[in-house]
Amino acid sequence: MNAIGKVRLVNQVIAAPMAGISDRAYRILAKEAGCALVCTEMISDLALLYGNPRTLQLLDHTGEAGPLSVQIFGSSPDSMAKAAKFAENAGADLIDLNMGCPVPKVVRNGEGAALMRNPELAARIIREVVSAVNVPVTVKMRKGWDEGSVNAVEIALLAEDAGAAAVTVHGRLKSQYYAGHADWGIIKAVKEVLTIPVIGNGDIQTPADARQMLDETGCDAVMIGRAALGNPWIFSRTIHFLSSGESLPFPSIYEKLNTALRHLDLVSQGKGDKIALLEMRKHAAWYIRGLPGAALTRQKINRAESVMELAVLLAQDLVNVK
């Protein structure tokens, strides 16, 4: 695949939307690692239309290299269409519709994965959003709601019919949340019936997994989520492996800590030091996972009272390993 609608993709590796994670800082690092496409965190259509400041900040993409997909969630065709238009005006290159989120407070409102149980409404939402914007519209879904309703093929077909430019299939049921294994067979089943591109998602942990998903399912691109936590190198290593069959070395400790510091700086720039201190605790823990003394550093990081202190802790580790 080299495009979704009119949006050109330079390779087959896409960064997954992740609430609380895939902010501007994360996306800049993912893009630098070569990702063909990055996506915002999921954004509530209504919160966007109310102009909630914290929601508007989710659209901040200052200084980012495109293309950027903005993911919205909701259950009303009208407000989803308005929110999509708002996001397009704010610079979205694509709009992604969330039909996979399993979180109770989302599905309770008929949003996220609940839309897979309401195909007629899902189709109306897609149709209205497609007619409201000029950018390509994609749909991200799961395998189905539960074992008794595996309907990704049905939803994907109706998405294509409603004008979607691509679909992403996460091979888990809503009922599984993130447990168990992703079923790549459902990605294959969707790919077999669609003409628009299909992006496969779920449980890619290594570049070889990405190769295997592409080969086994025939999907057009892969989307990587959790394997990229504290590990943007998964993108560069996967891109390299897919194009050459060669495995690049793992990042050095120096590269890891350096990137963690850069991540901290990017979050501080975008959201201020106070929020950066809180948000970077989890990222820092992911970056240092597996390094000597990581458990102790993590404890210290969690007690850090300023971003400077956090930076010094990471830098100290850097000095210790050099």
Ligand X SMILES: Cc1cc2nc3c(=O)[nH]c(=O)nc-3n(C[C@H](O)[C@H](O)[C@H](O)COP(=O)(O)O)c2cc1C
Closest CB 254 distance from ligand X, rounded Å: 26
Reduce the DSSP state of residue 34 to 3 states and report it: coil
Task: Decide whether 204 or 307 has the Cβ nearer to ligand X.
Answer: 204
Reduce the DSSP state of residue 298 to 3 states and report it: helix
- Kindly state the DSSP code that residue 145 receives in the 8-state scheme: S
Closest CB 97 distance from ligand X, rounded Å: 9
Closest CB 17 distance from ligand X, rounded Å: 4
304's enclosing H/E stretch is: none
Catalytic residue among 35, 39, 101, 219: 101
Residue 101 bears catalytic tag? yes
Closest CB 321 distance from ligand X, rounded Å: 28
Residue of 69, 68, 73, 61 whose CA lies nearest to 25: 61
Report CA-CA distances (Å) from 79 to 86, 114, 126: 10, 17, 12
Contact residues toward ligand X (CB under 6 A) are 16-21, 41-42, 71, 98, 100-101, 140, 170, 201-204, 224-227
Task: Decide whether 234 or 277 has the Cβ nearer to ligand X.
Answer: 234
Task: Decide whether 103 or 318 has the Cβ nearer to ligand X.
Answer: 103
Task: Decide whether 239 or 311 has the Cβ nearer to ligand X.
Answer: 239
Say how many Å lie between the first and final Cα of the chain, rounded.
42
Report CA-CA distances (Å) from 191 to 38, 78, 173, 184, 260: 22, 29, 18, 11, 37
Select the residue whose beta carbon is closest to ligand X and give its number: 225
Q: How far is CA 119 from the centre of its chain?
A: 24
**Residues catalogued as catalytic:** 101
